[in-house]
Amino acid sequence: MVEYADDEQGGPQPVEIPRTAPCGAEGQGSCCTRRHSVRERKTSPGHPLVVMVCKTHKRYFTLYPLGHMPYGRTPVLEVTAEGRPRSQALSPASLRETLFAAAVDASESATLWPRDSEHGRPSLRTQRRQVKRAAMWLGLDAPTRPAEQMAHILDVDLLLHAQVHARYRAASTTRSRATCVVDLLAALSVDGMLLIRLLRAGHLAGVCPEAWWWVPGAGYGYPSFRSPRRSLPASVFGGRPGVNDLARS
Ligand SMILES: [Zn+2]
């Protein structure tokens, strides 16, 4: 993931082209990256994405704007170009354009999706599947030990997570399960590290490929899952020391 910004021609372009790639992160020689092509996108983020190639390791990788996960059609979170959440709290309104939208809709009684899919519109079956995926993402659709681990990664109060987890496991309808998802999202701390915490939780739950966050000016990428080898510059996250919390977990 990189920061995209409008260039002089008007289209969003990466602010900085990564000089290294995930393929070179394990010490198998230095990457030699260059811009390869662009991929047109019909779905979010609605603008072409730059495809890179590493000539050393003969690997291709796509630069997504911050907030998008690899191969995802919908943002994980609505964030600014620098990766900070756009909202002060994860209210239902702030989640409408994210992959948690199905849970938000299902938690509100009037907006269950149609039972039968017409003309490619999403169906109730899709909504149920997406609610389950959102619950997996947050450690609710999981046994107790992994759920506790997920609470730690999400930096949410362990007792609160356990209570919502118990409610989720006892829930018998899509709506009540979705309400648990929405309640837990509302309890997350909204700060500059939220996106990386969510990406990390999604990766651990097996519902999100590993993403790398290229830090402009720093000269390295930051993996969403593995512990960082060094701290991010304070400017990236407004000086909040949360990255060290991630390193401990
Ligand atoms: Zn490489």
Q: Domain segments of the chain: what residues? A: 4-66+210-248, 67-209
Residue 203 three-state SS = helix
Distance 223 CA to ligand 1 centre (A): 15
**C-alpha triplet 13, 203, 172: angle, nearest 5°:** 120
3-state secondary structure the chain: CECEEECCCCCEEECCCCCCCHHHCCCCCCCCEEEEEEECCCCCCCCCEEEEEECCCCEEEEECECCCCCCCCCCCCCECCCCCECCCCCCHHHHCCCCCHHHHHHHCHHHCCCCCCCCCCCCHHHHHHHHHHHHHHCCCCCCHHHHHHHHHHHCCCHHHHHHHHHHHHHCCCHHHHHHHHHHHHHHCCCCCCHHHHHHHHHHHCCCCCCCEEEECCCCEEEECCCCCCCCCCHHHHCCCCHHHHHHHC
Distance 222 CA to ligand 1 centre (A): 15
Q: What is the pLDDT along the chain (249 residues), one digit of tens a residue?
A: 888 888 877 788 998 888 888 787 666 678 899 999 999 888 888 889 999 999 998 999 999 999 998 888 899 999 988 788 999 999 999 999 999 999 999 998 766 777 766 666 678 888 999 999 999 999 999 999 999 999 999 999 999 999 999 999 999 999 999 999 999 999 999 998 899 899 989 988 999 888 888 877 776 676 665 544 444 444 444 333 333 333 333
Cis-peptide into 143, omega within 30 deg: no
pLDDT value of residue 21: 82
pLDDT value of residue 160: 97
Joined tokens for residue 164: 């919502």
What residues have a C-beta under 5 A from ligand 1, the ion?
21, 23-24, 31, 54, 56-57
Q: What does the alpha-carbon distance between residue 141 and residue 145 come to, in Å, rounded to a whole number?
A: 12
pLDDT value of residue 126: 87
pTM above the 0.75 mark? Answer: yes
pLDDT value of residue 26: 64
Distance 242 CA to ligand 1 centre (A): 29
pLDDT value of residue 158: 96
Maximum CA pair distance of the chain?
Answer: 56
Distance 43 CA to ligand 1 centre (A): 28
Distance 194 CA to ligand 1 centre (A): 28
pLDDT value of residue 149: 92
Distance 216 CA to ligand 1 centre (A): 18
Distance 56 CA to ligand 1 centre (A): 5
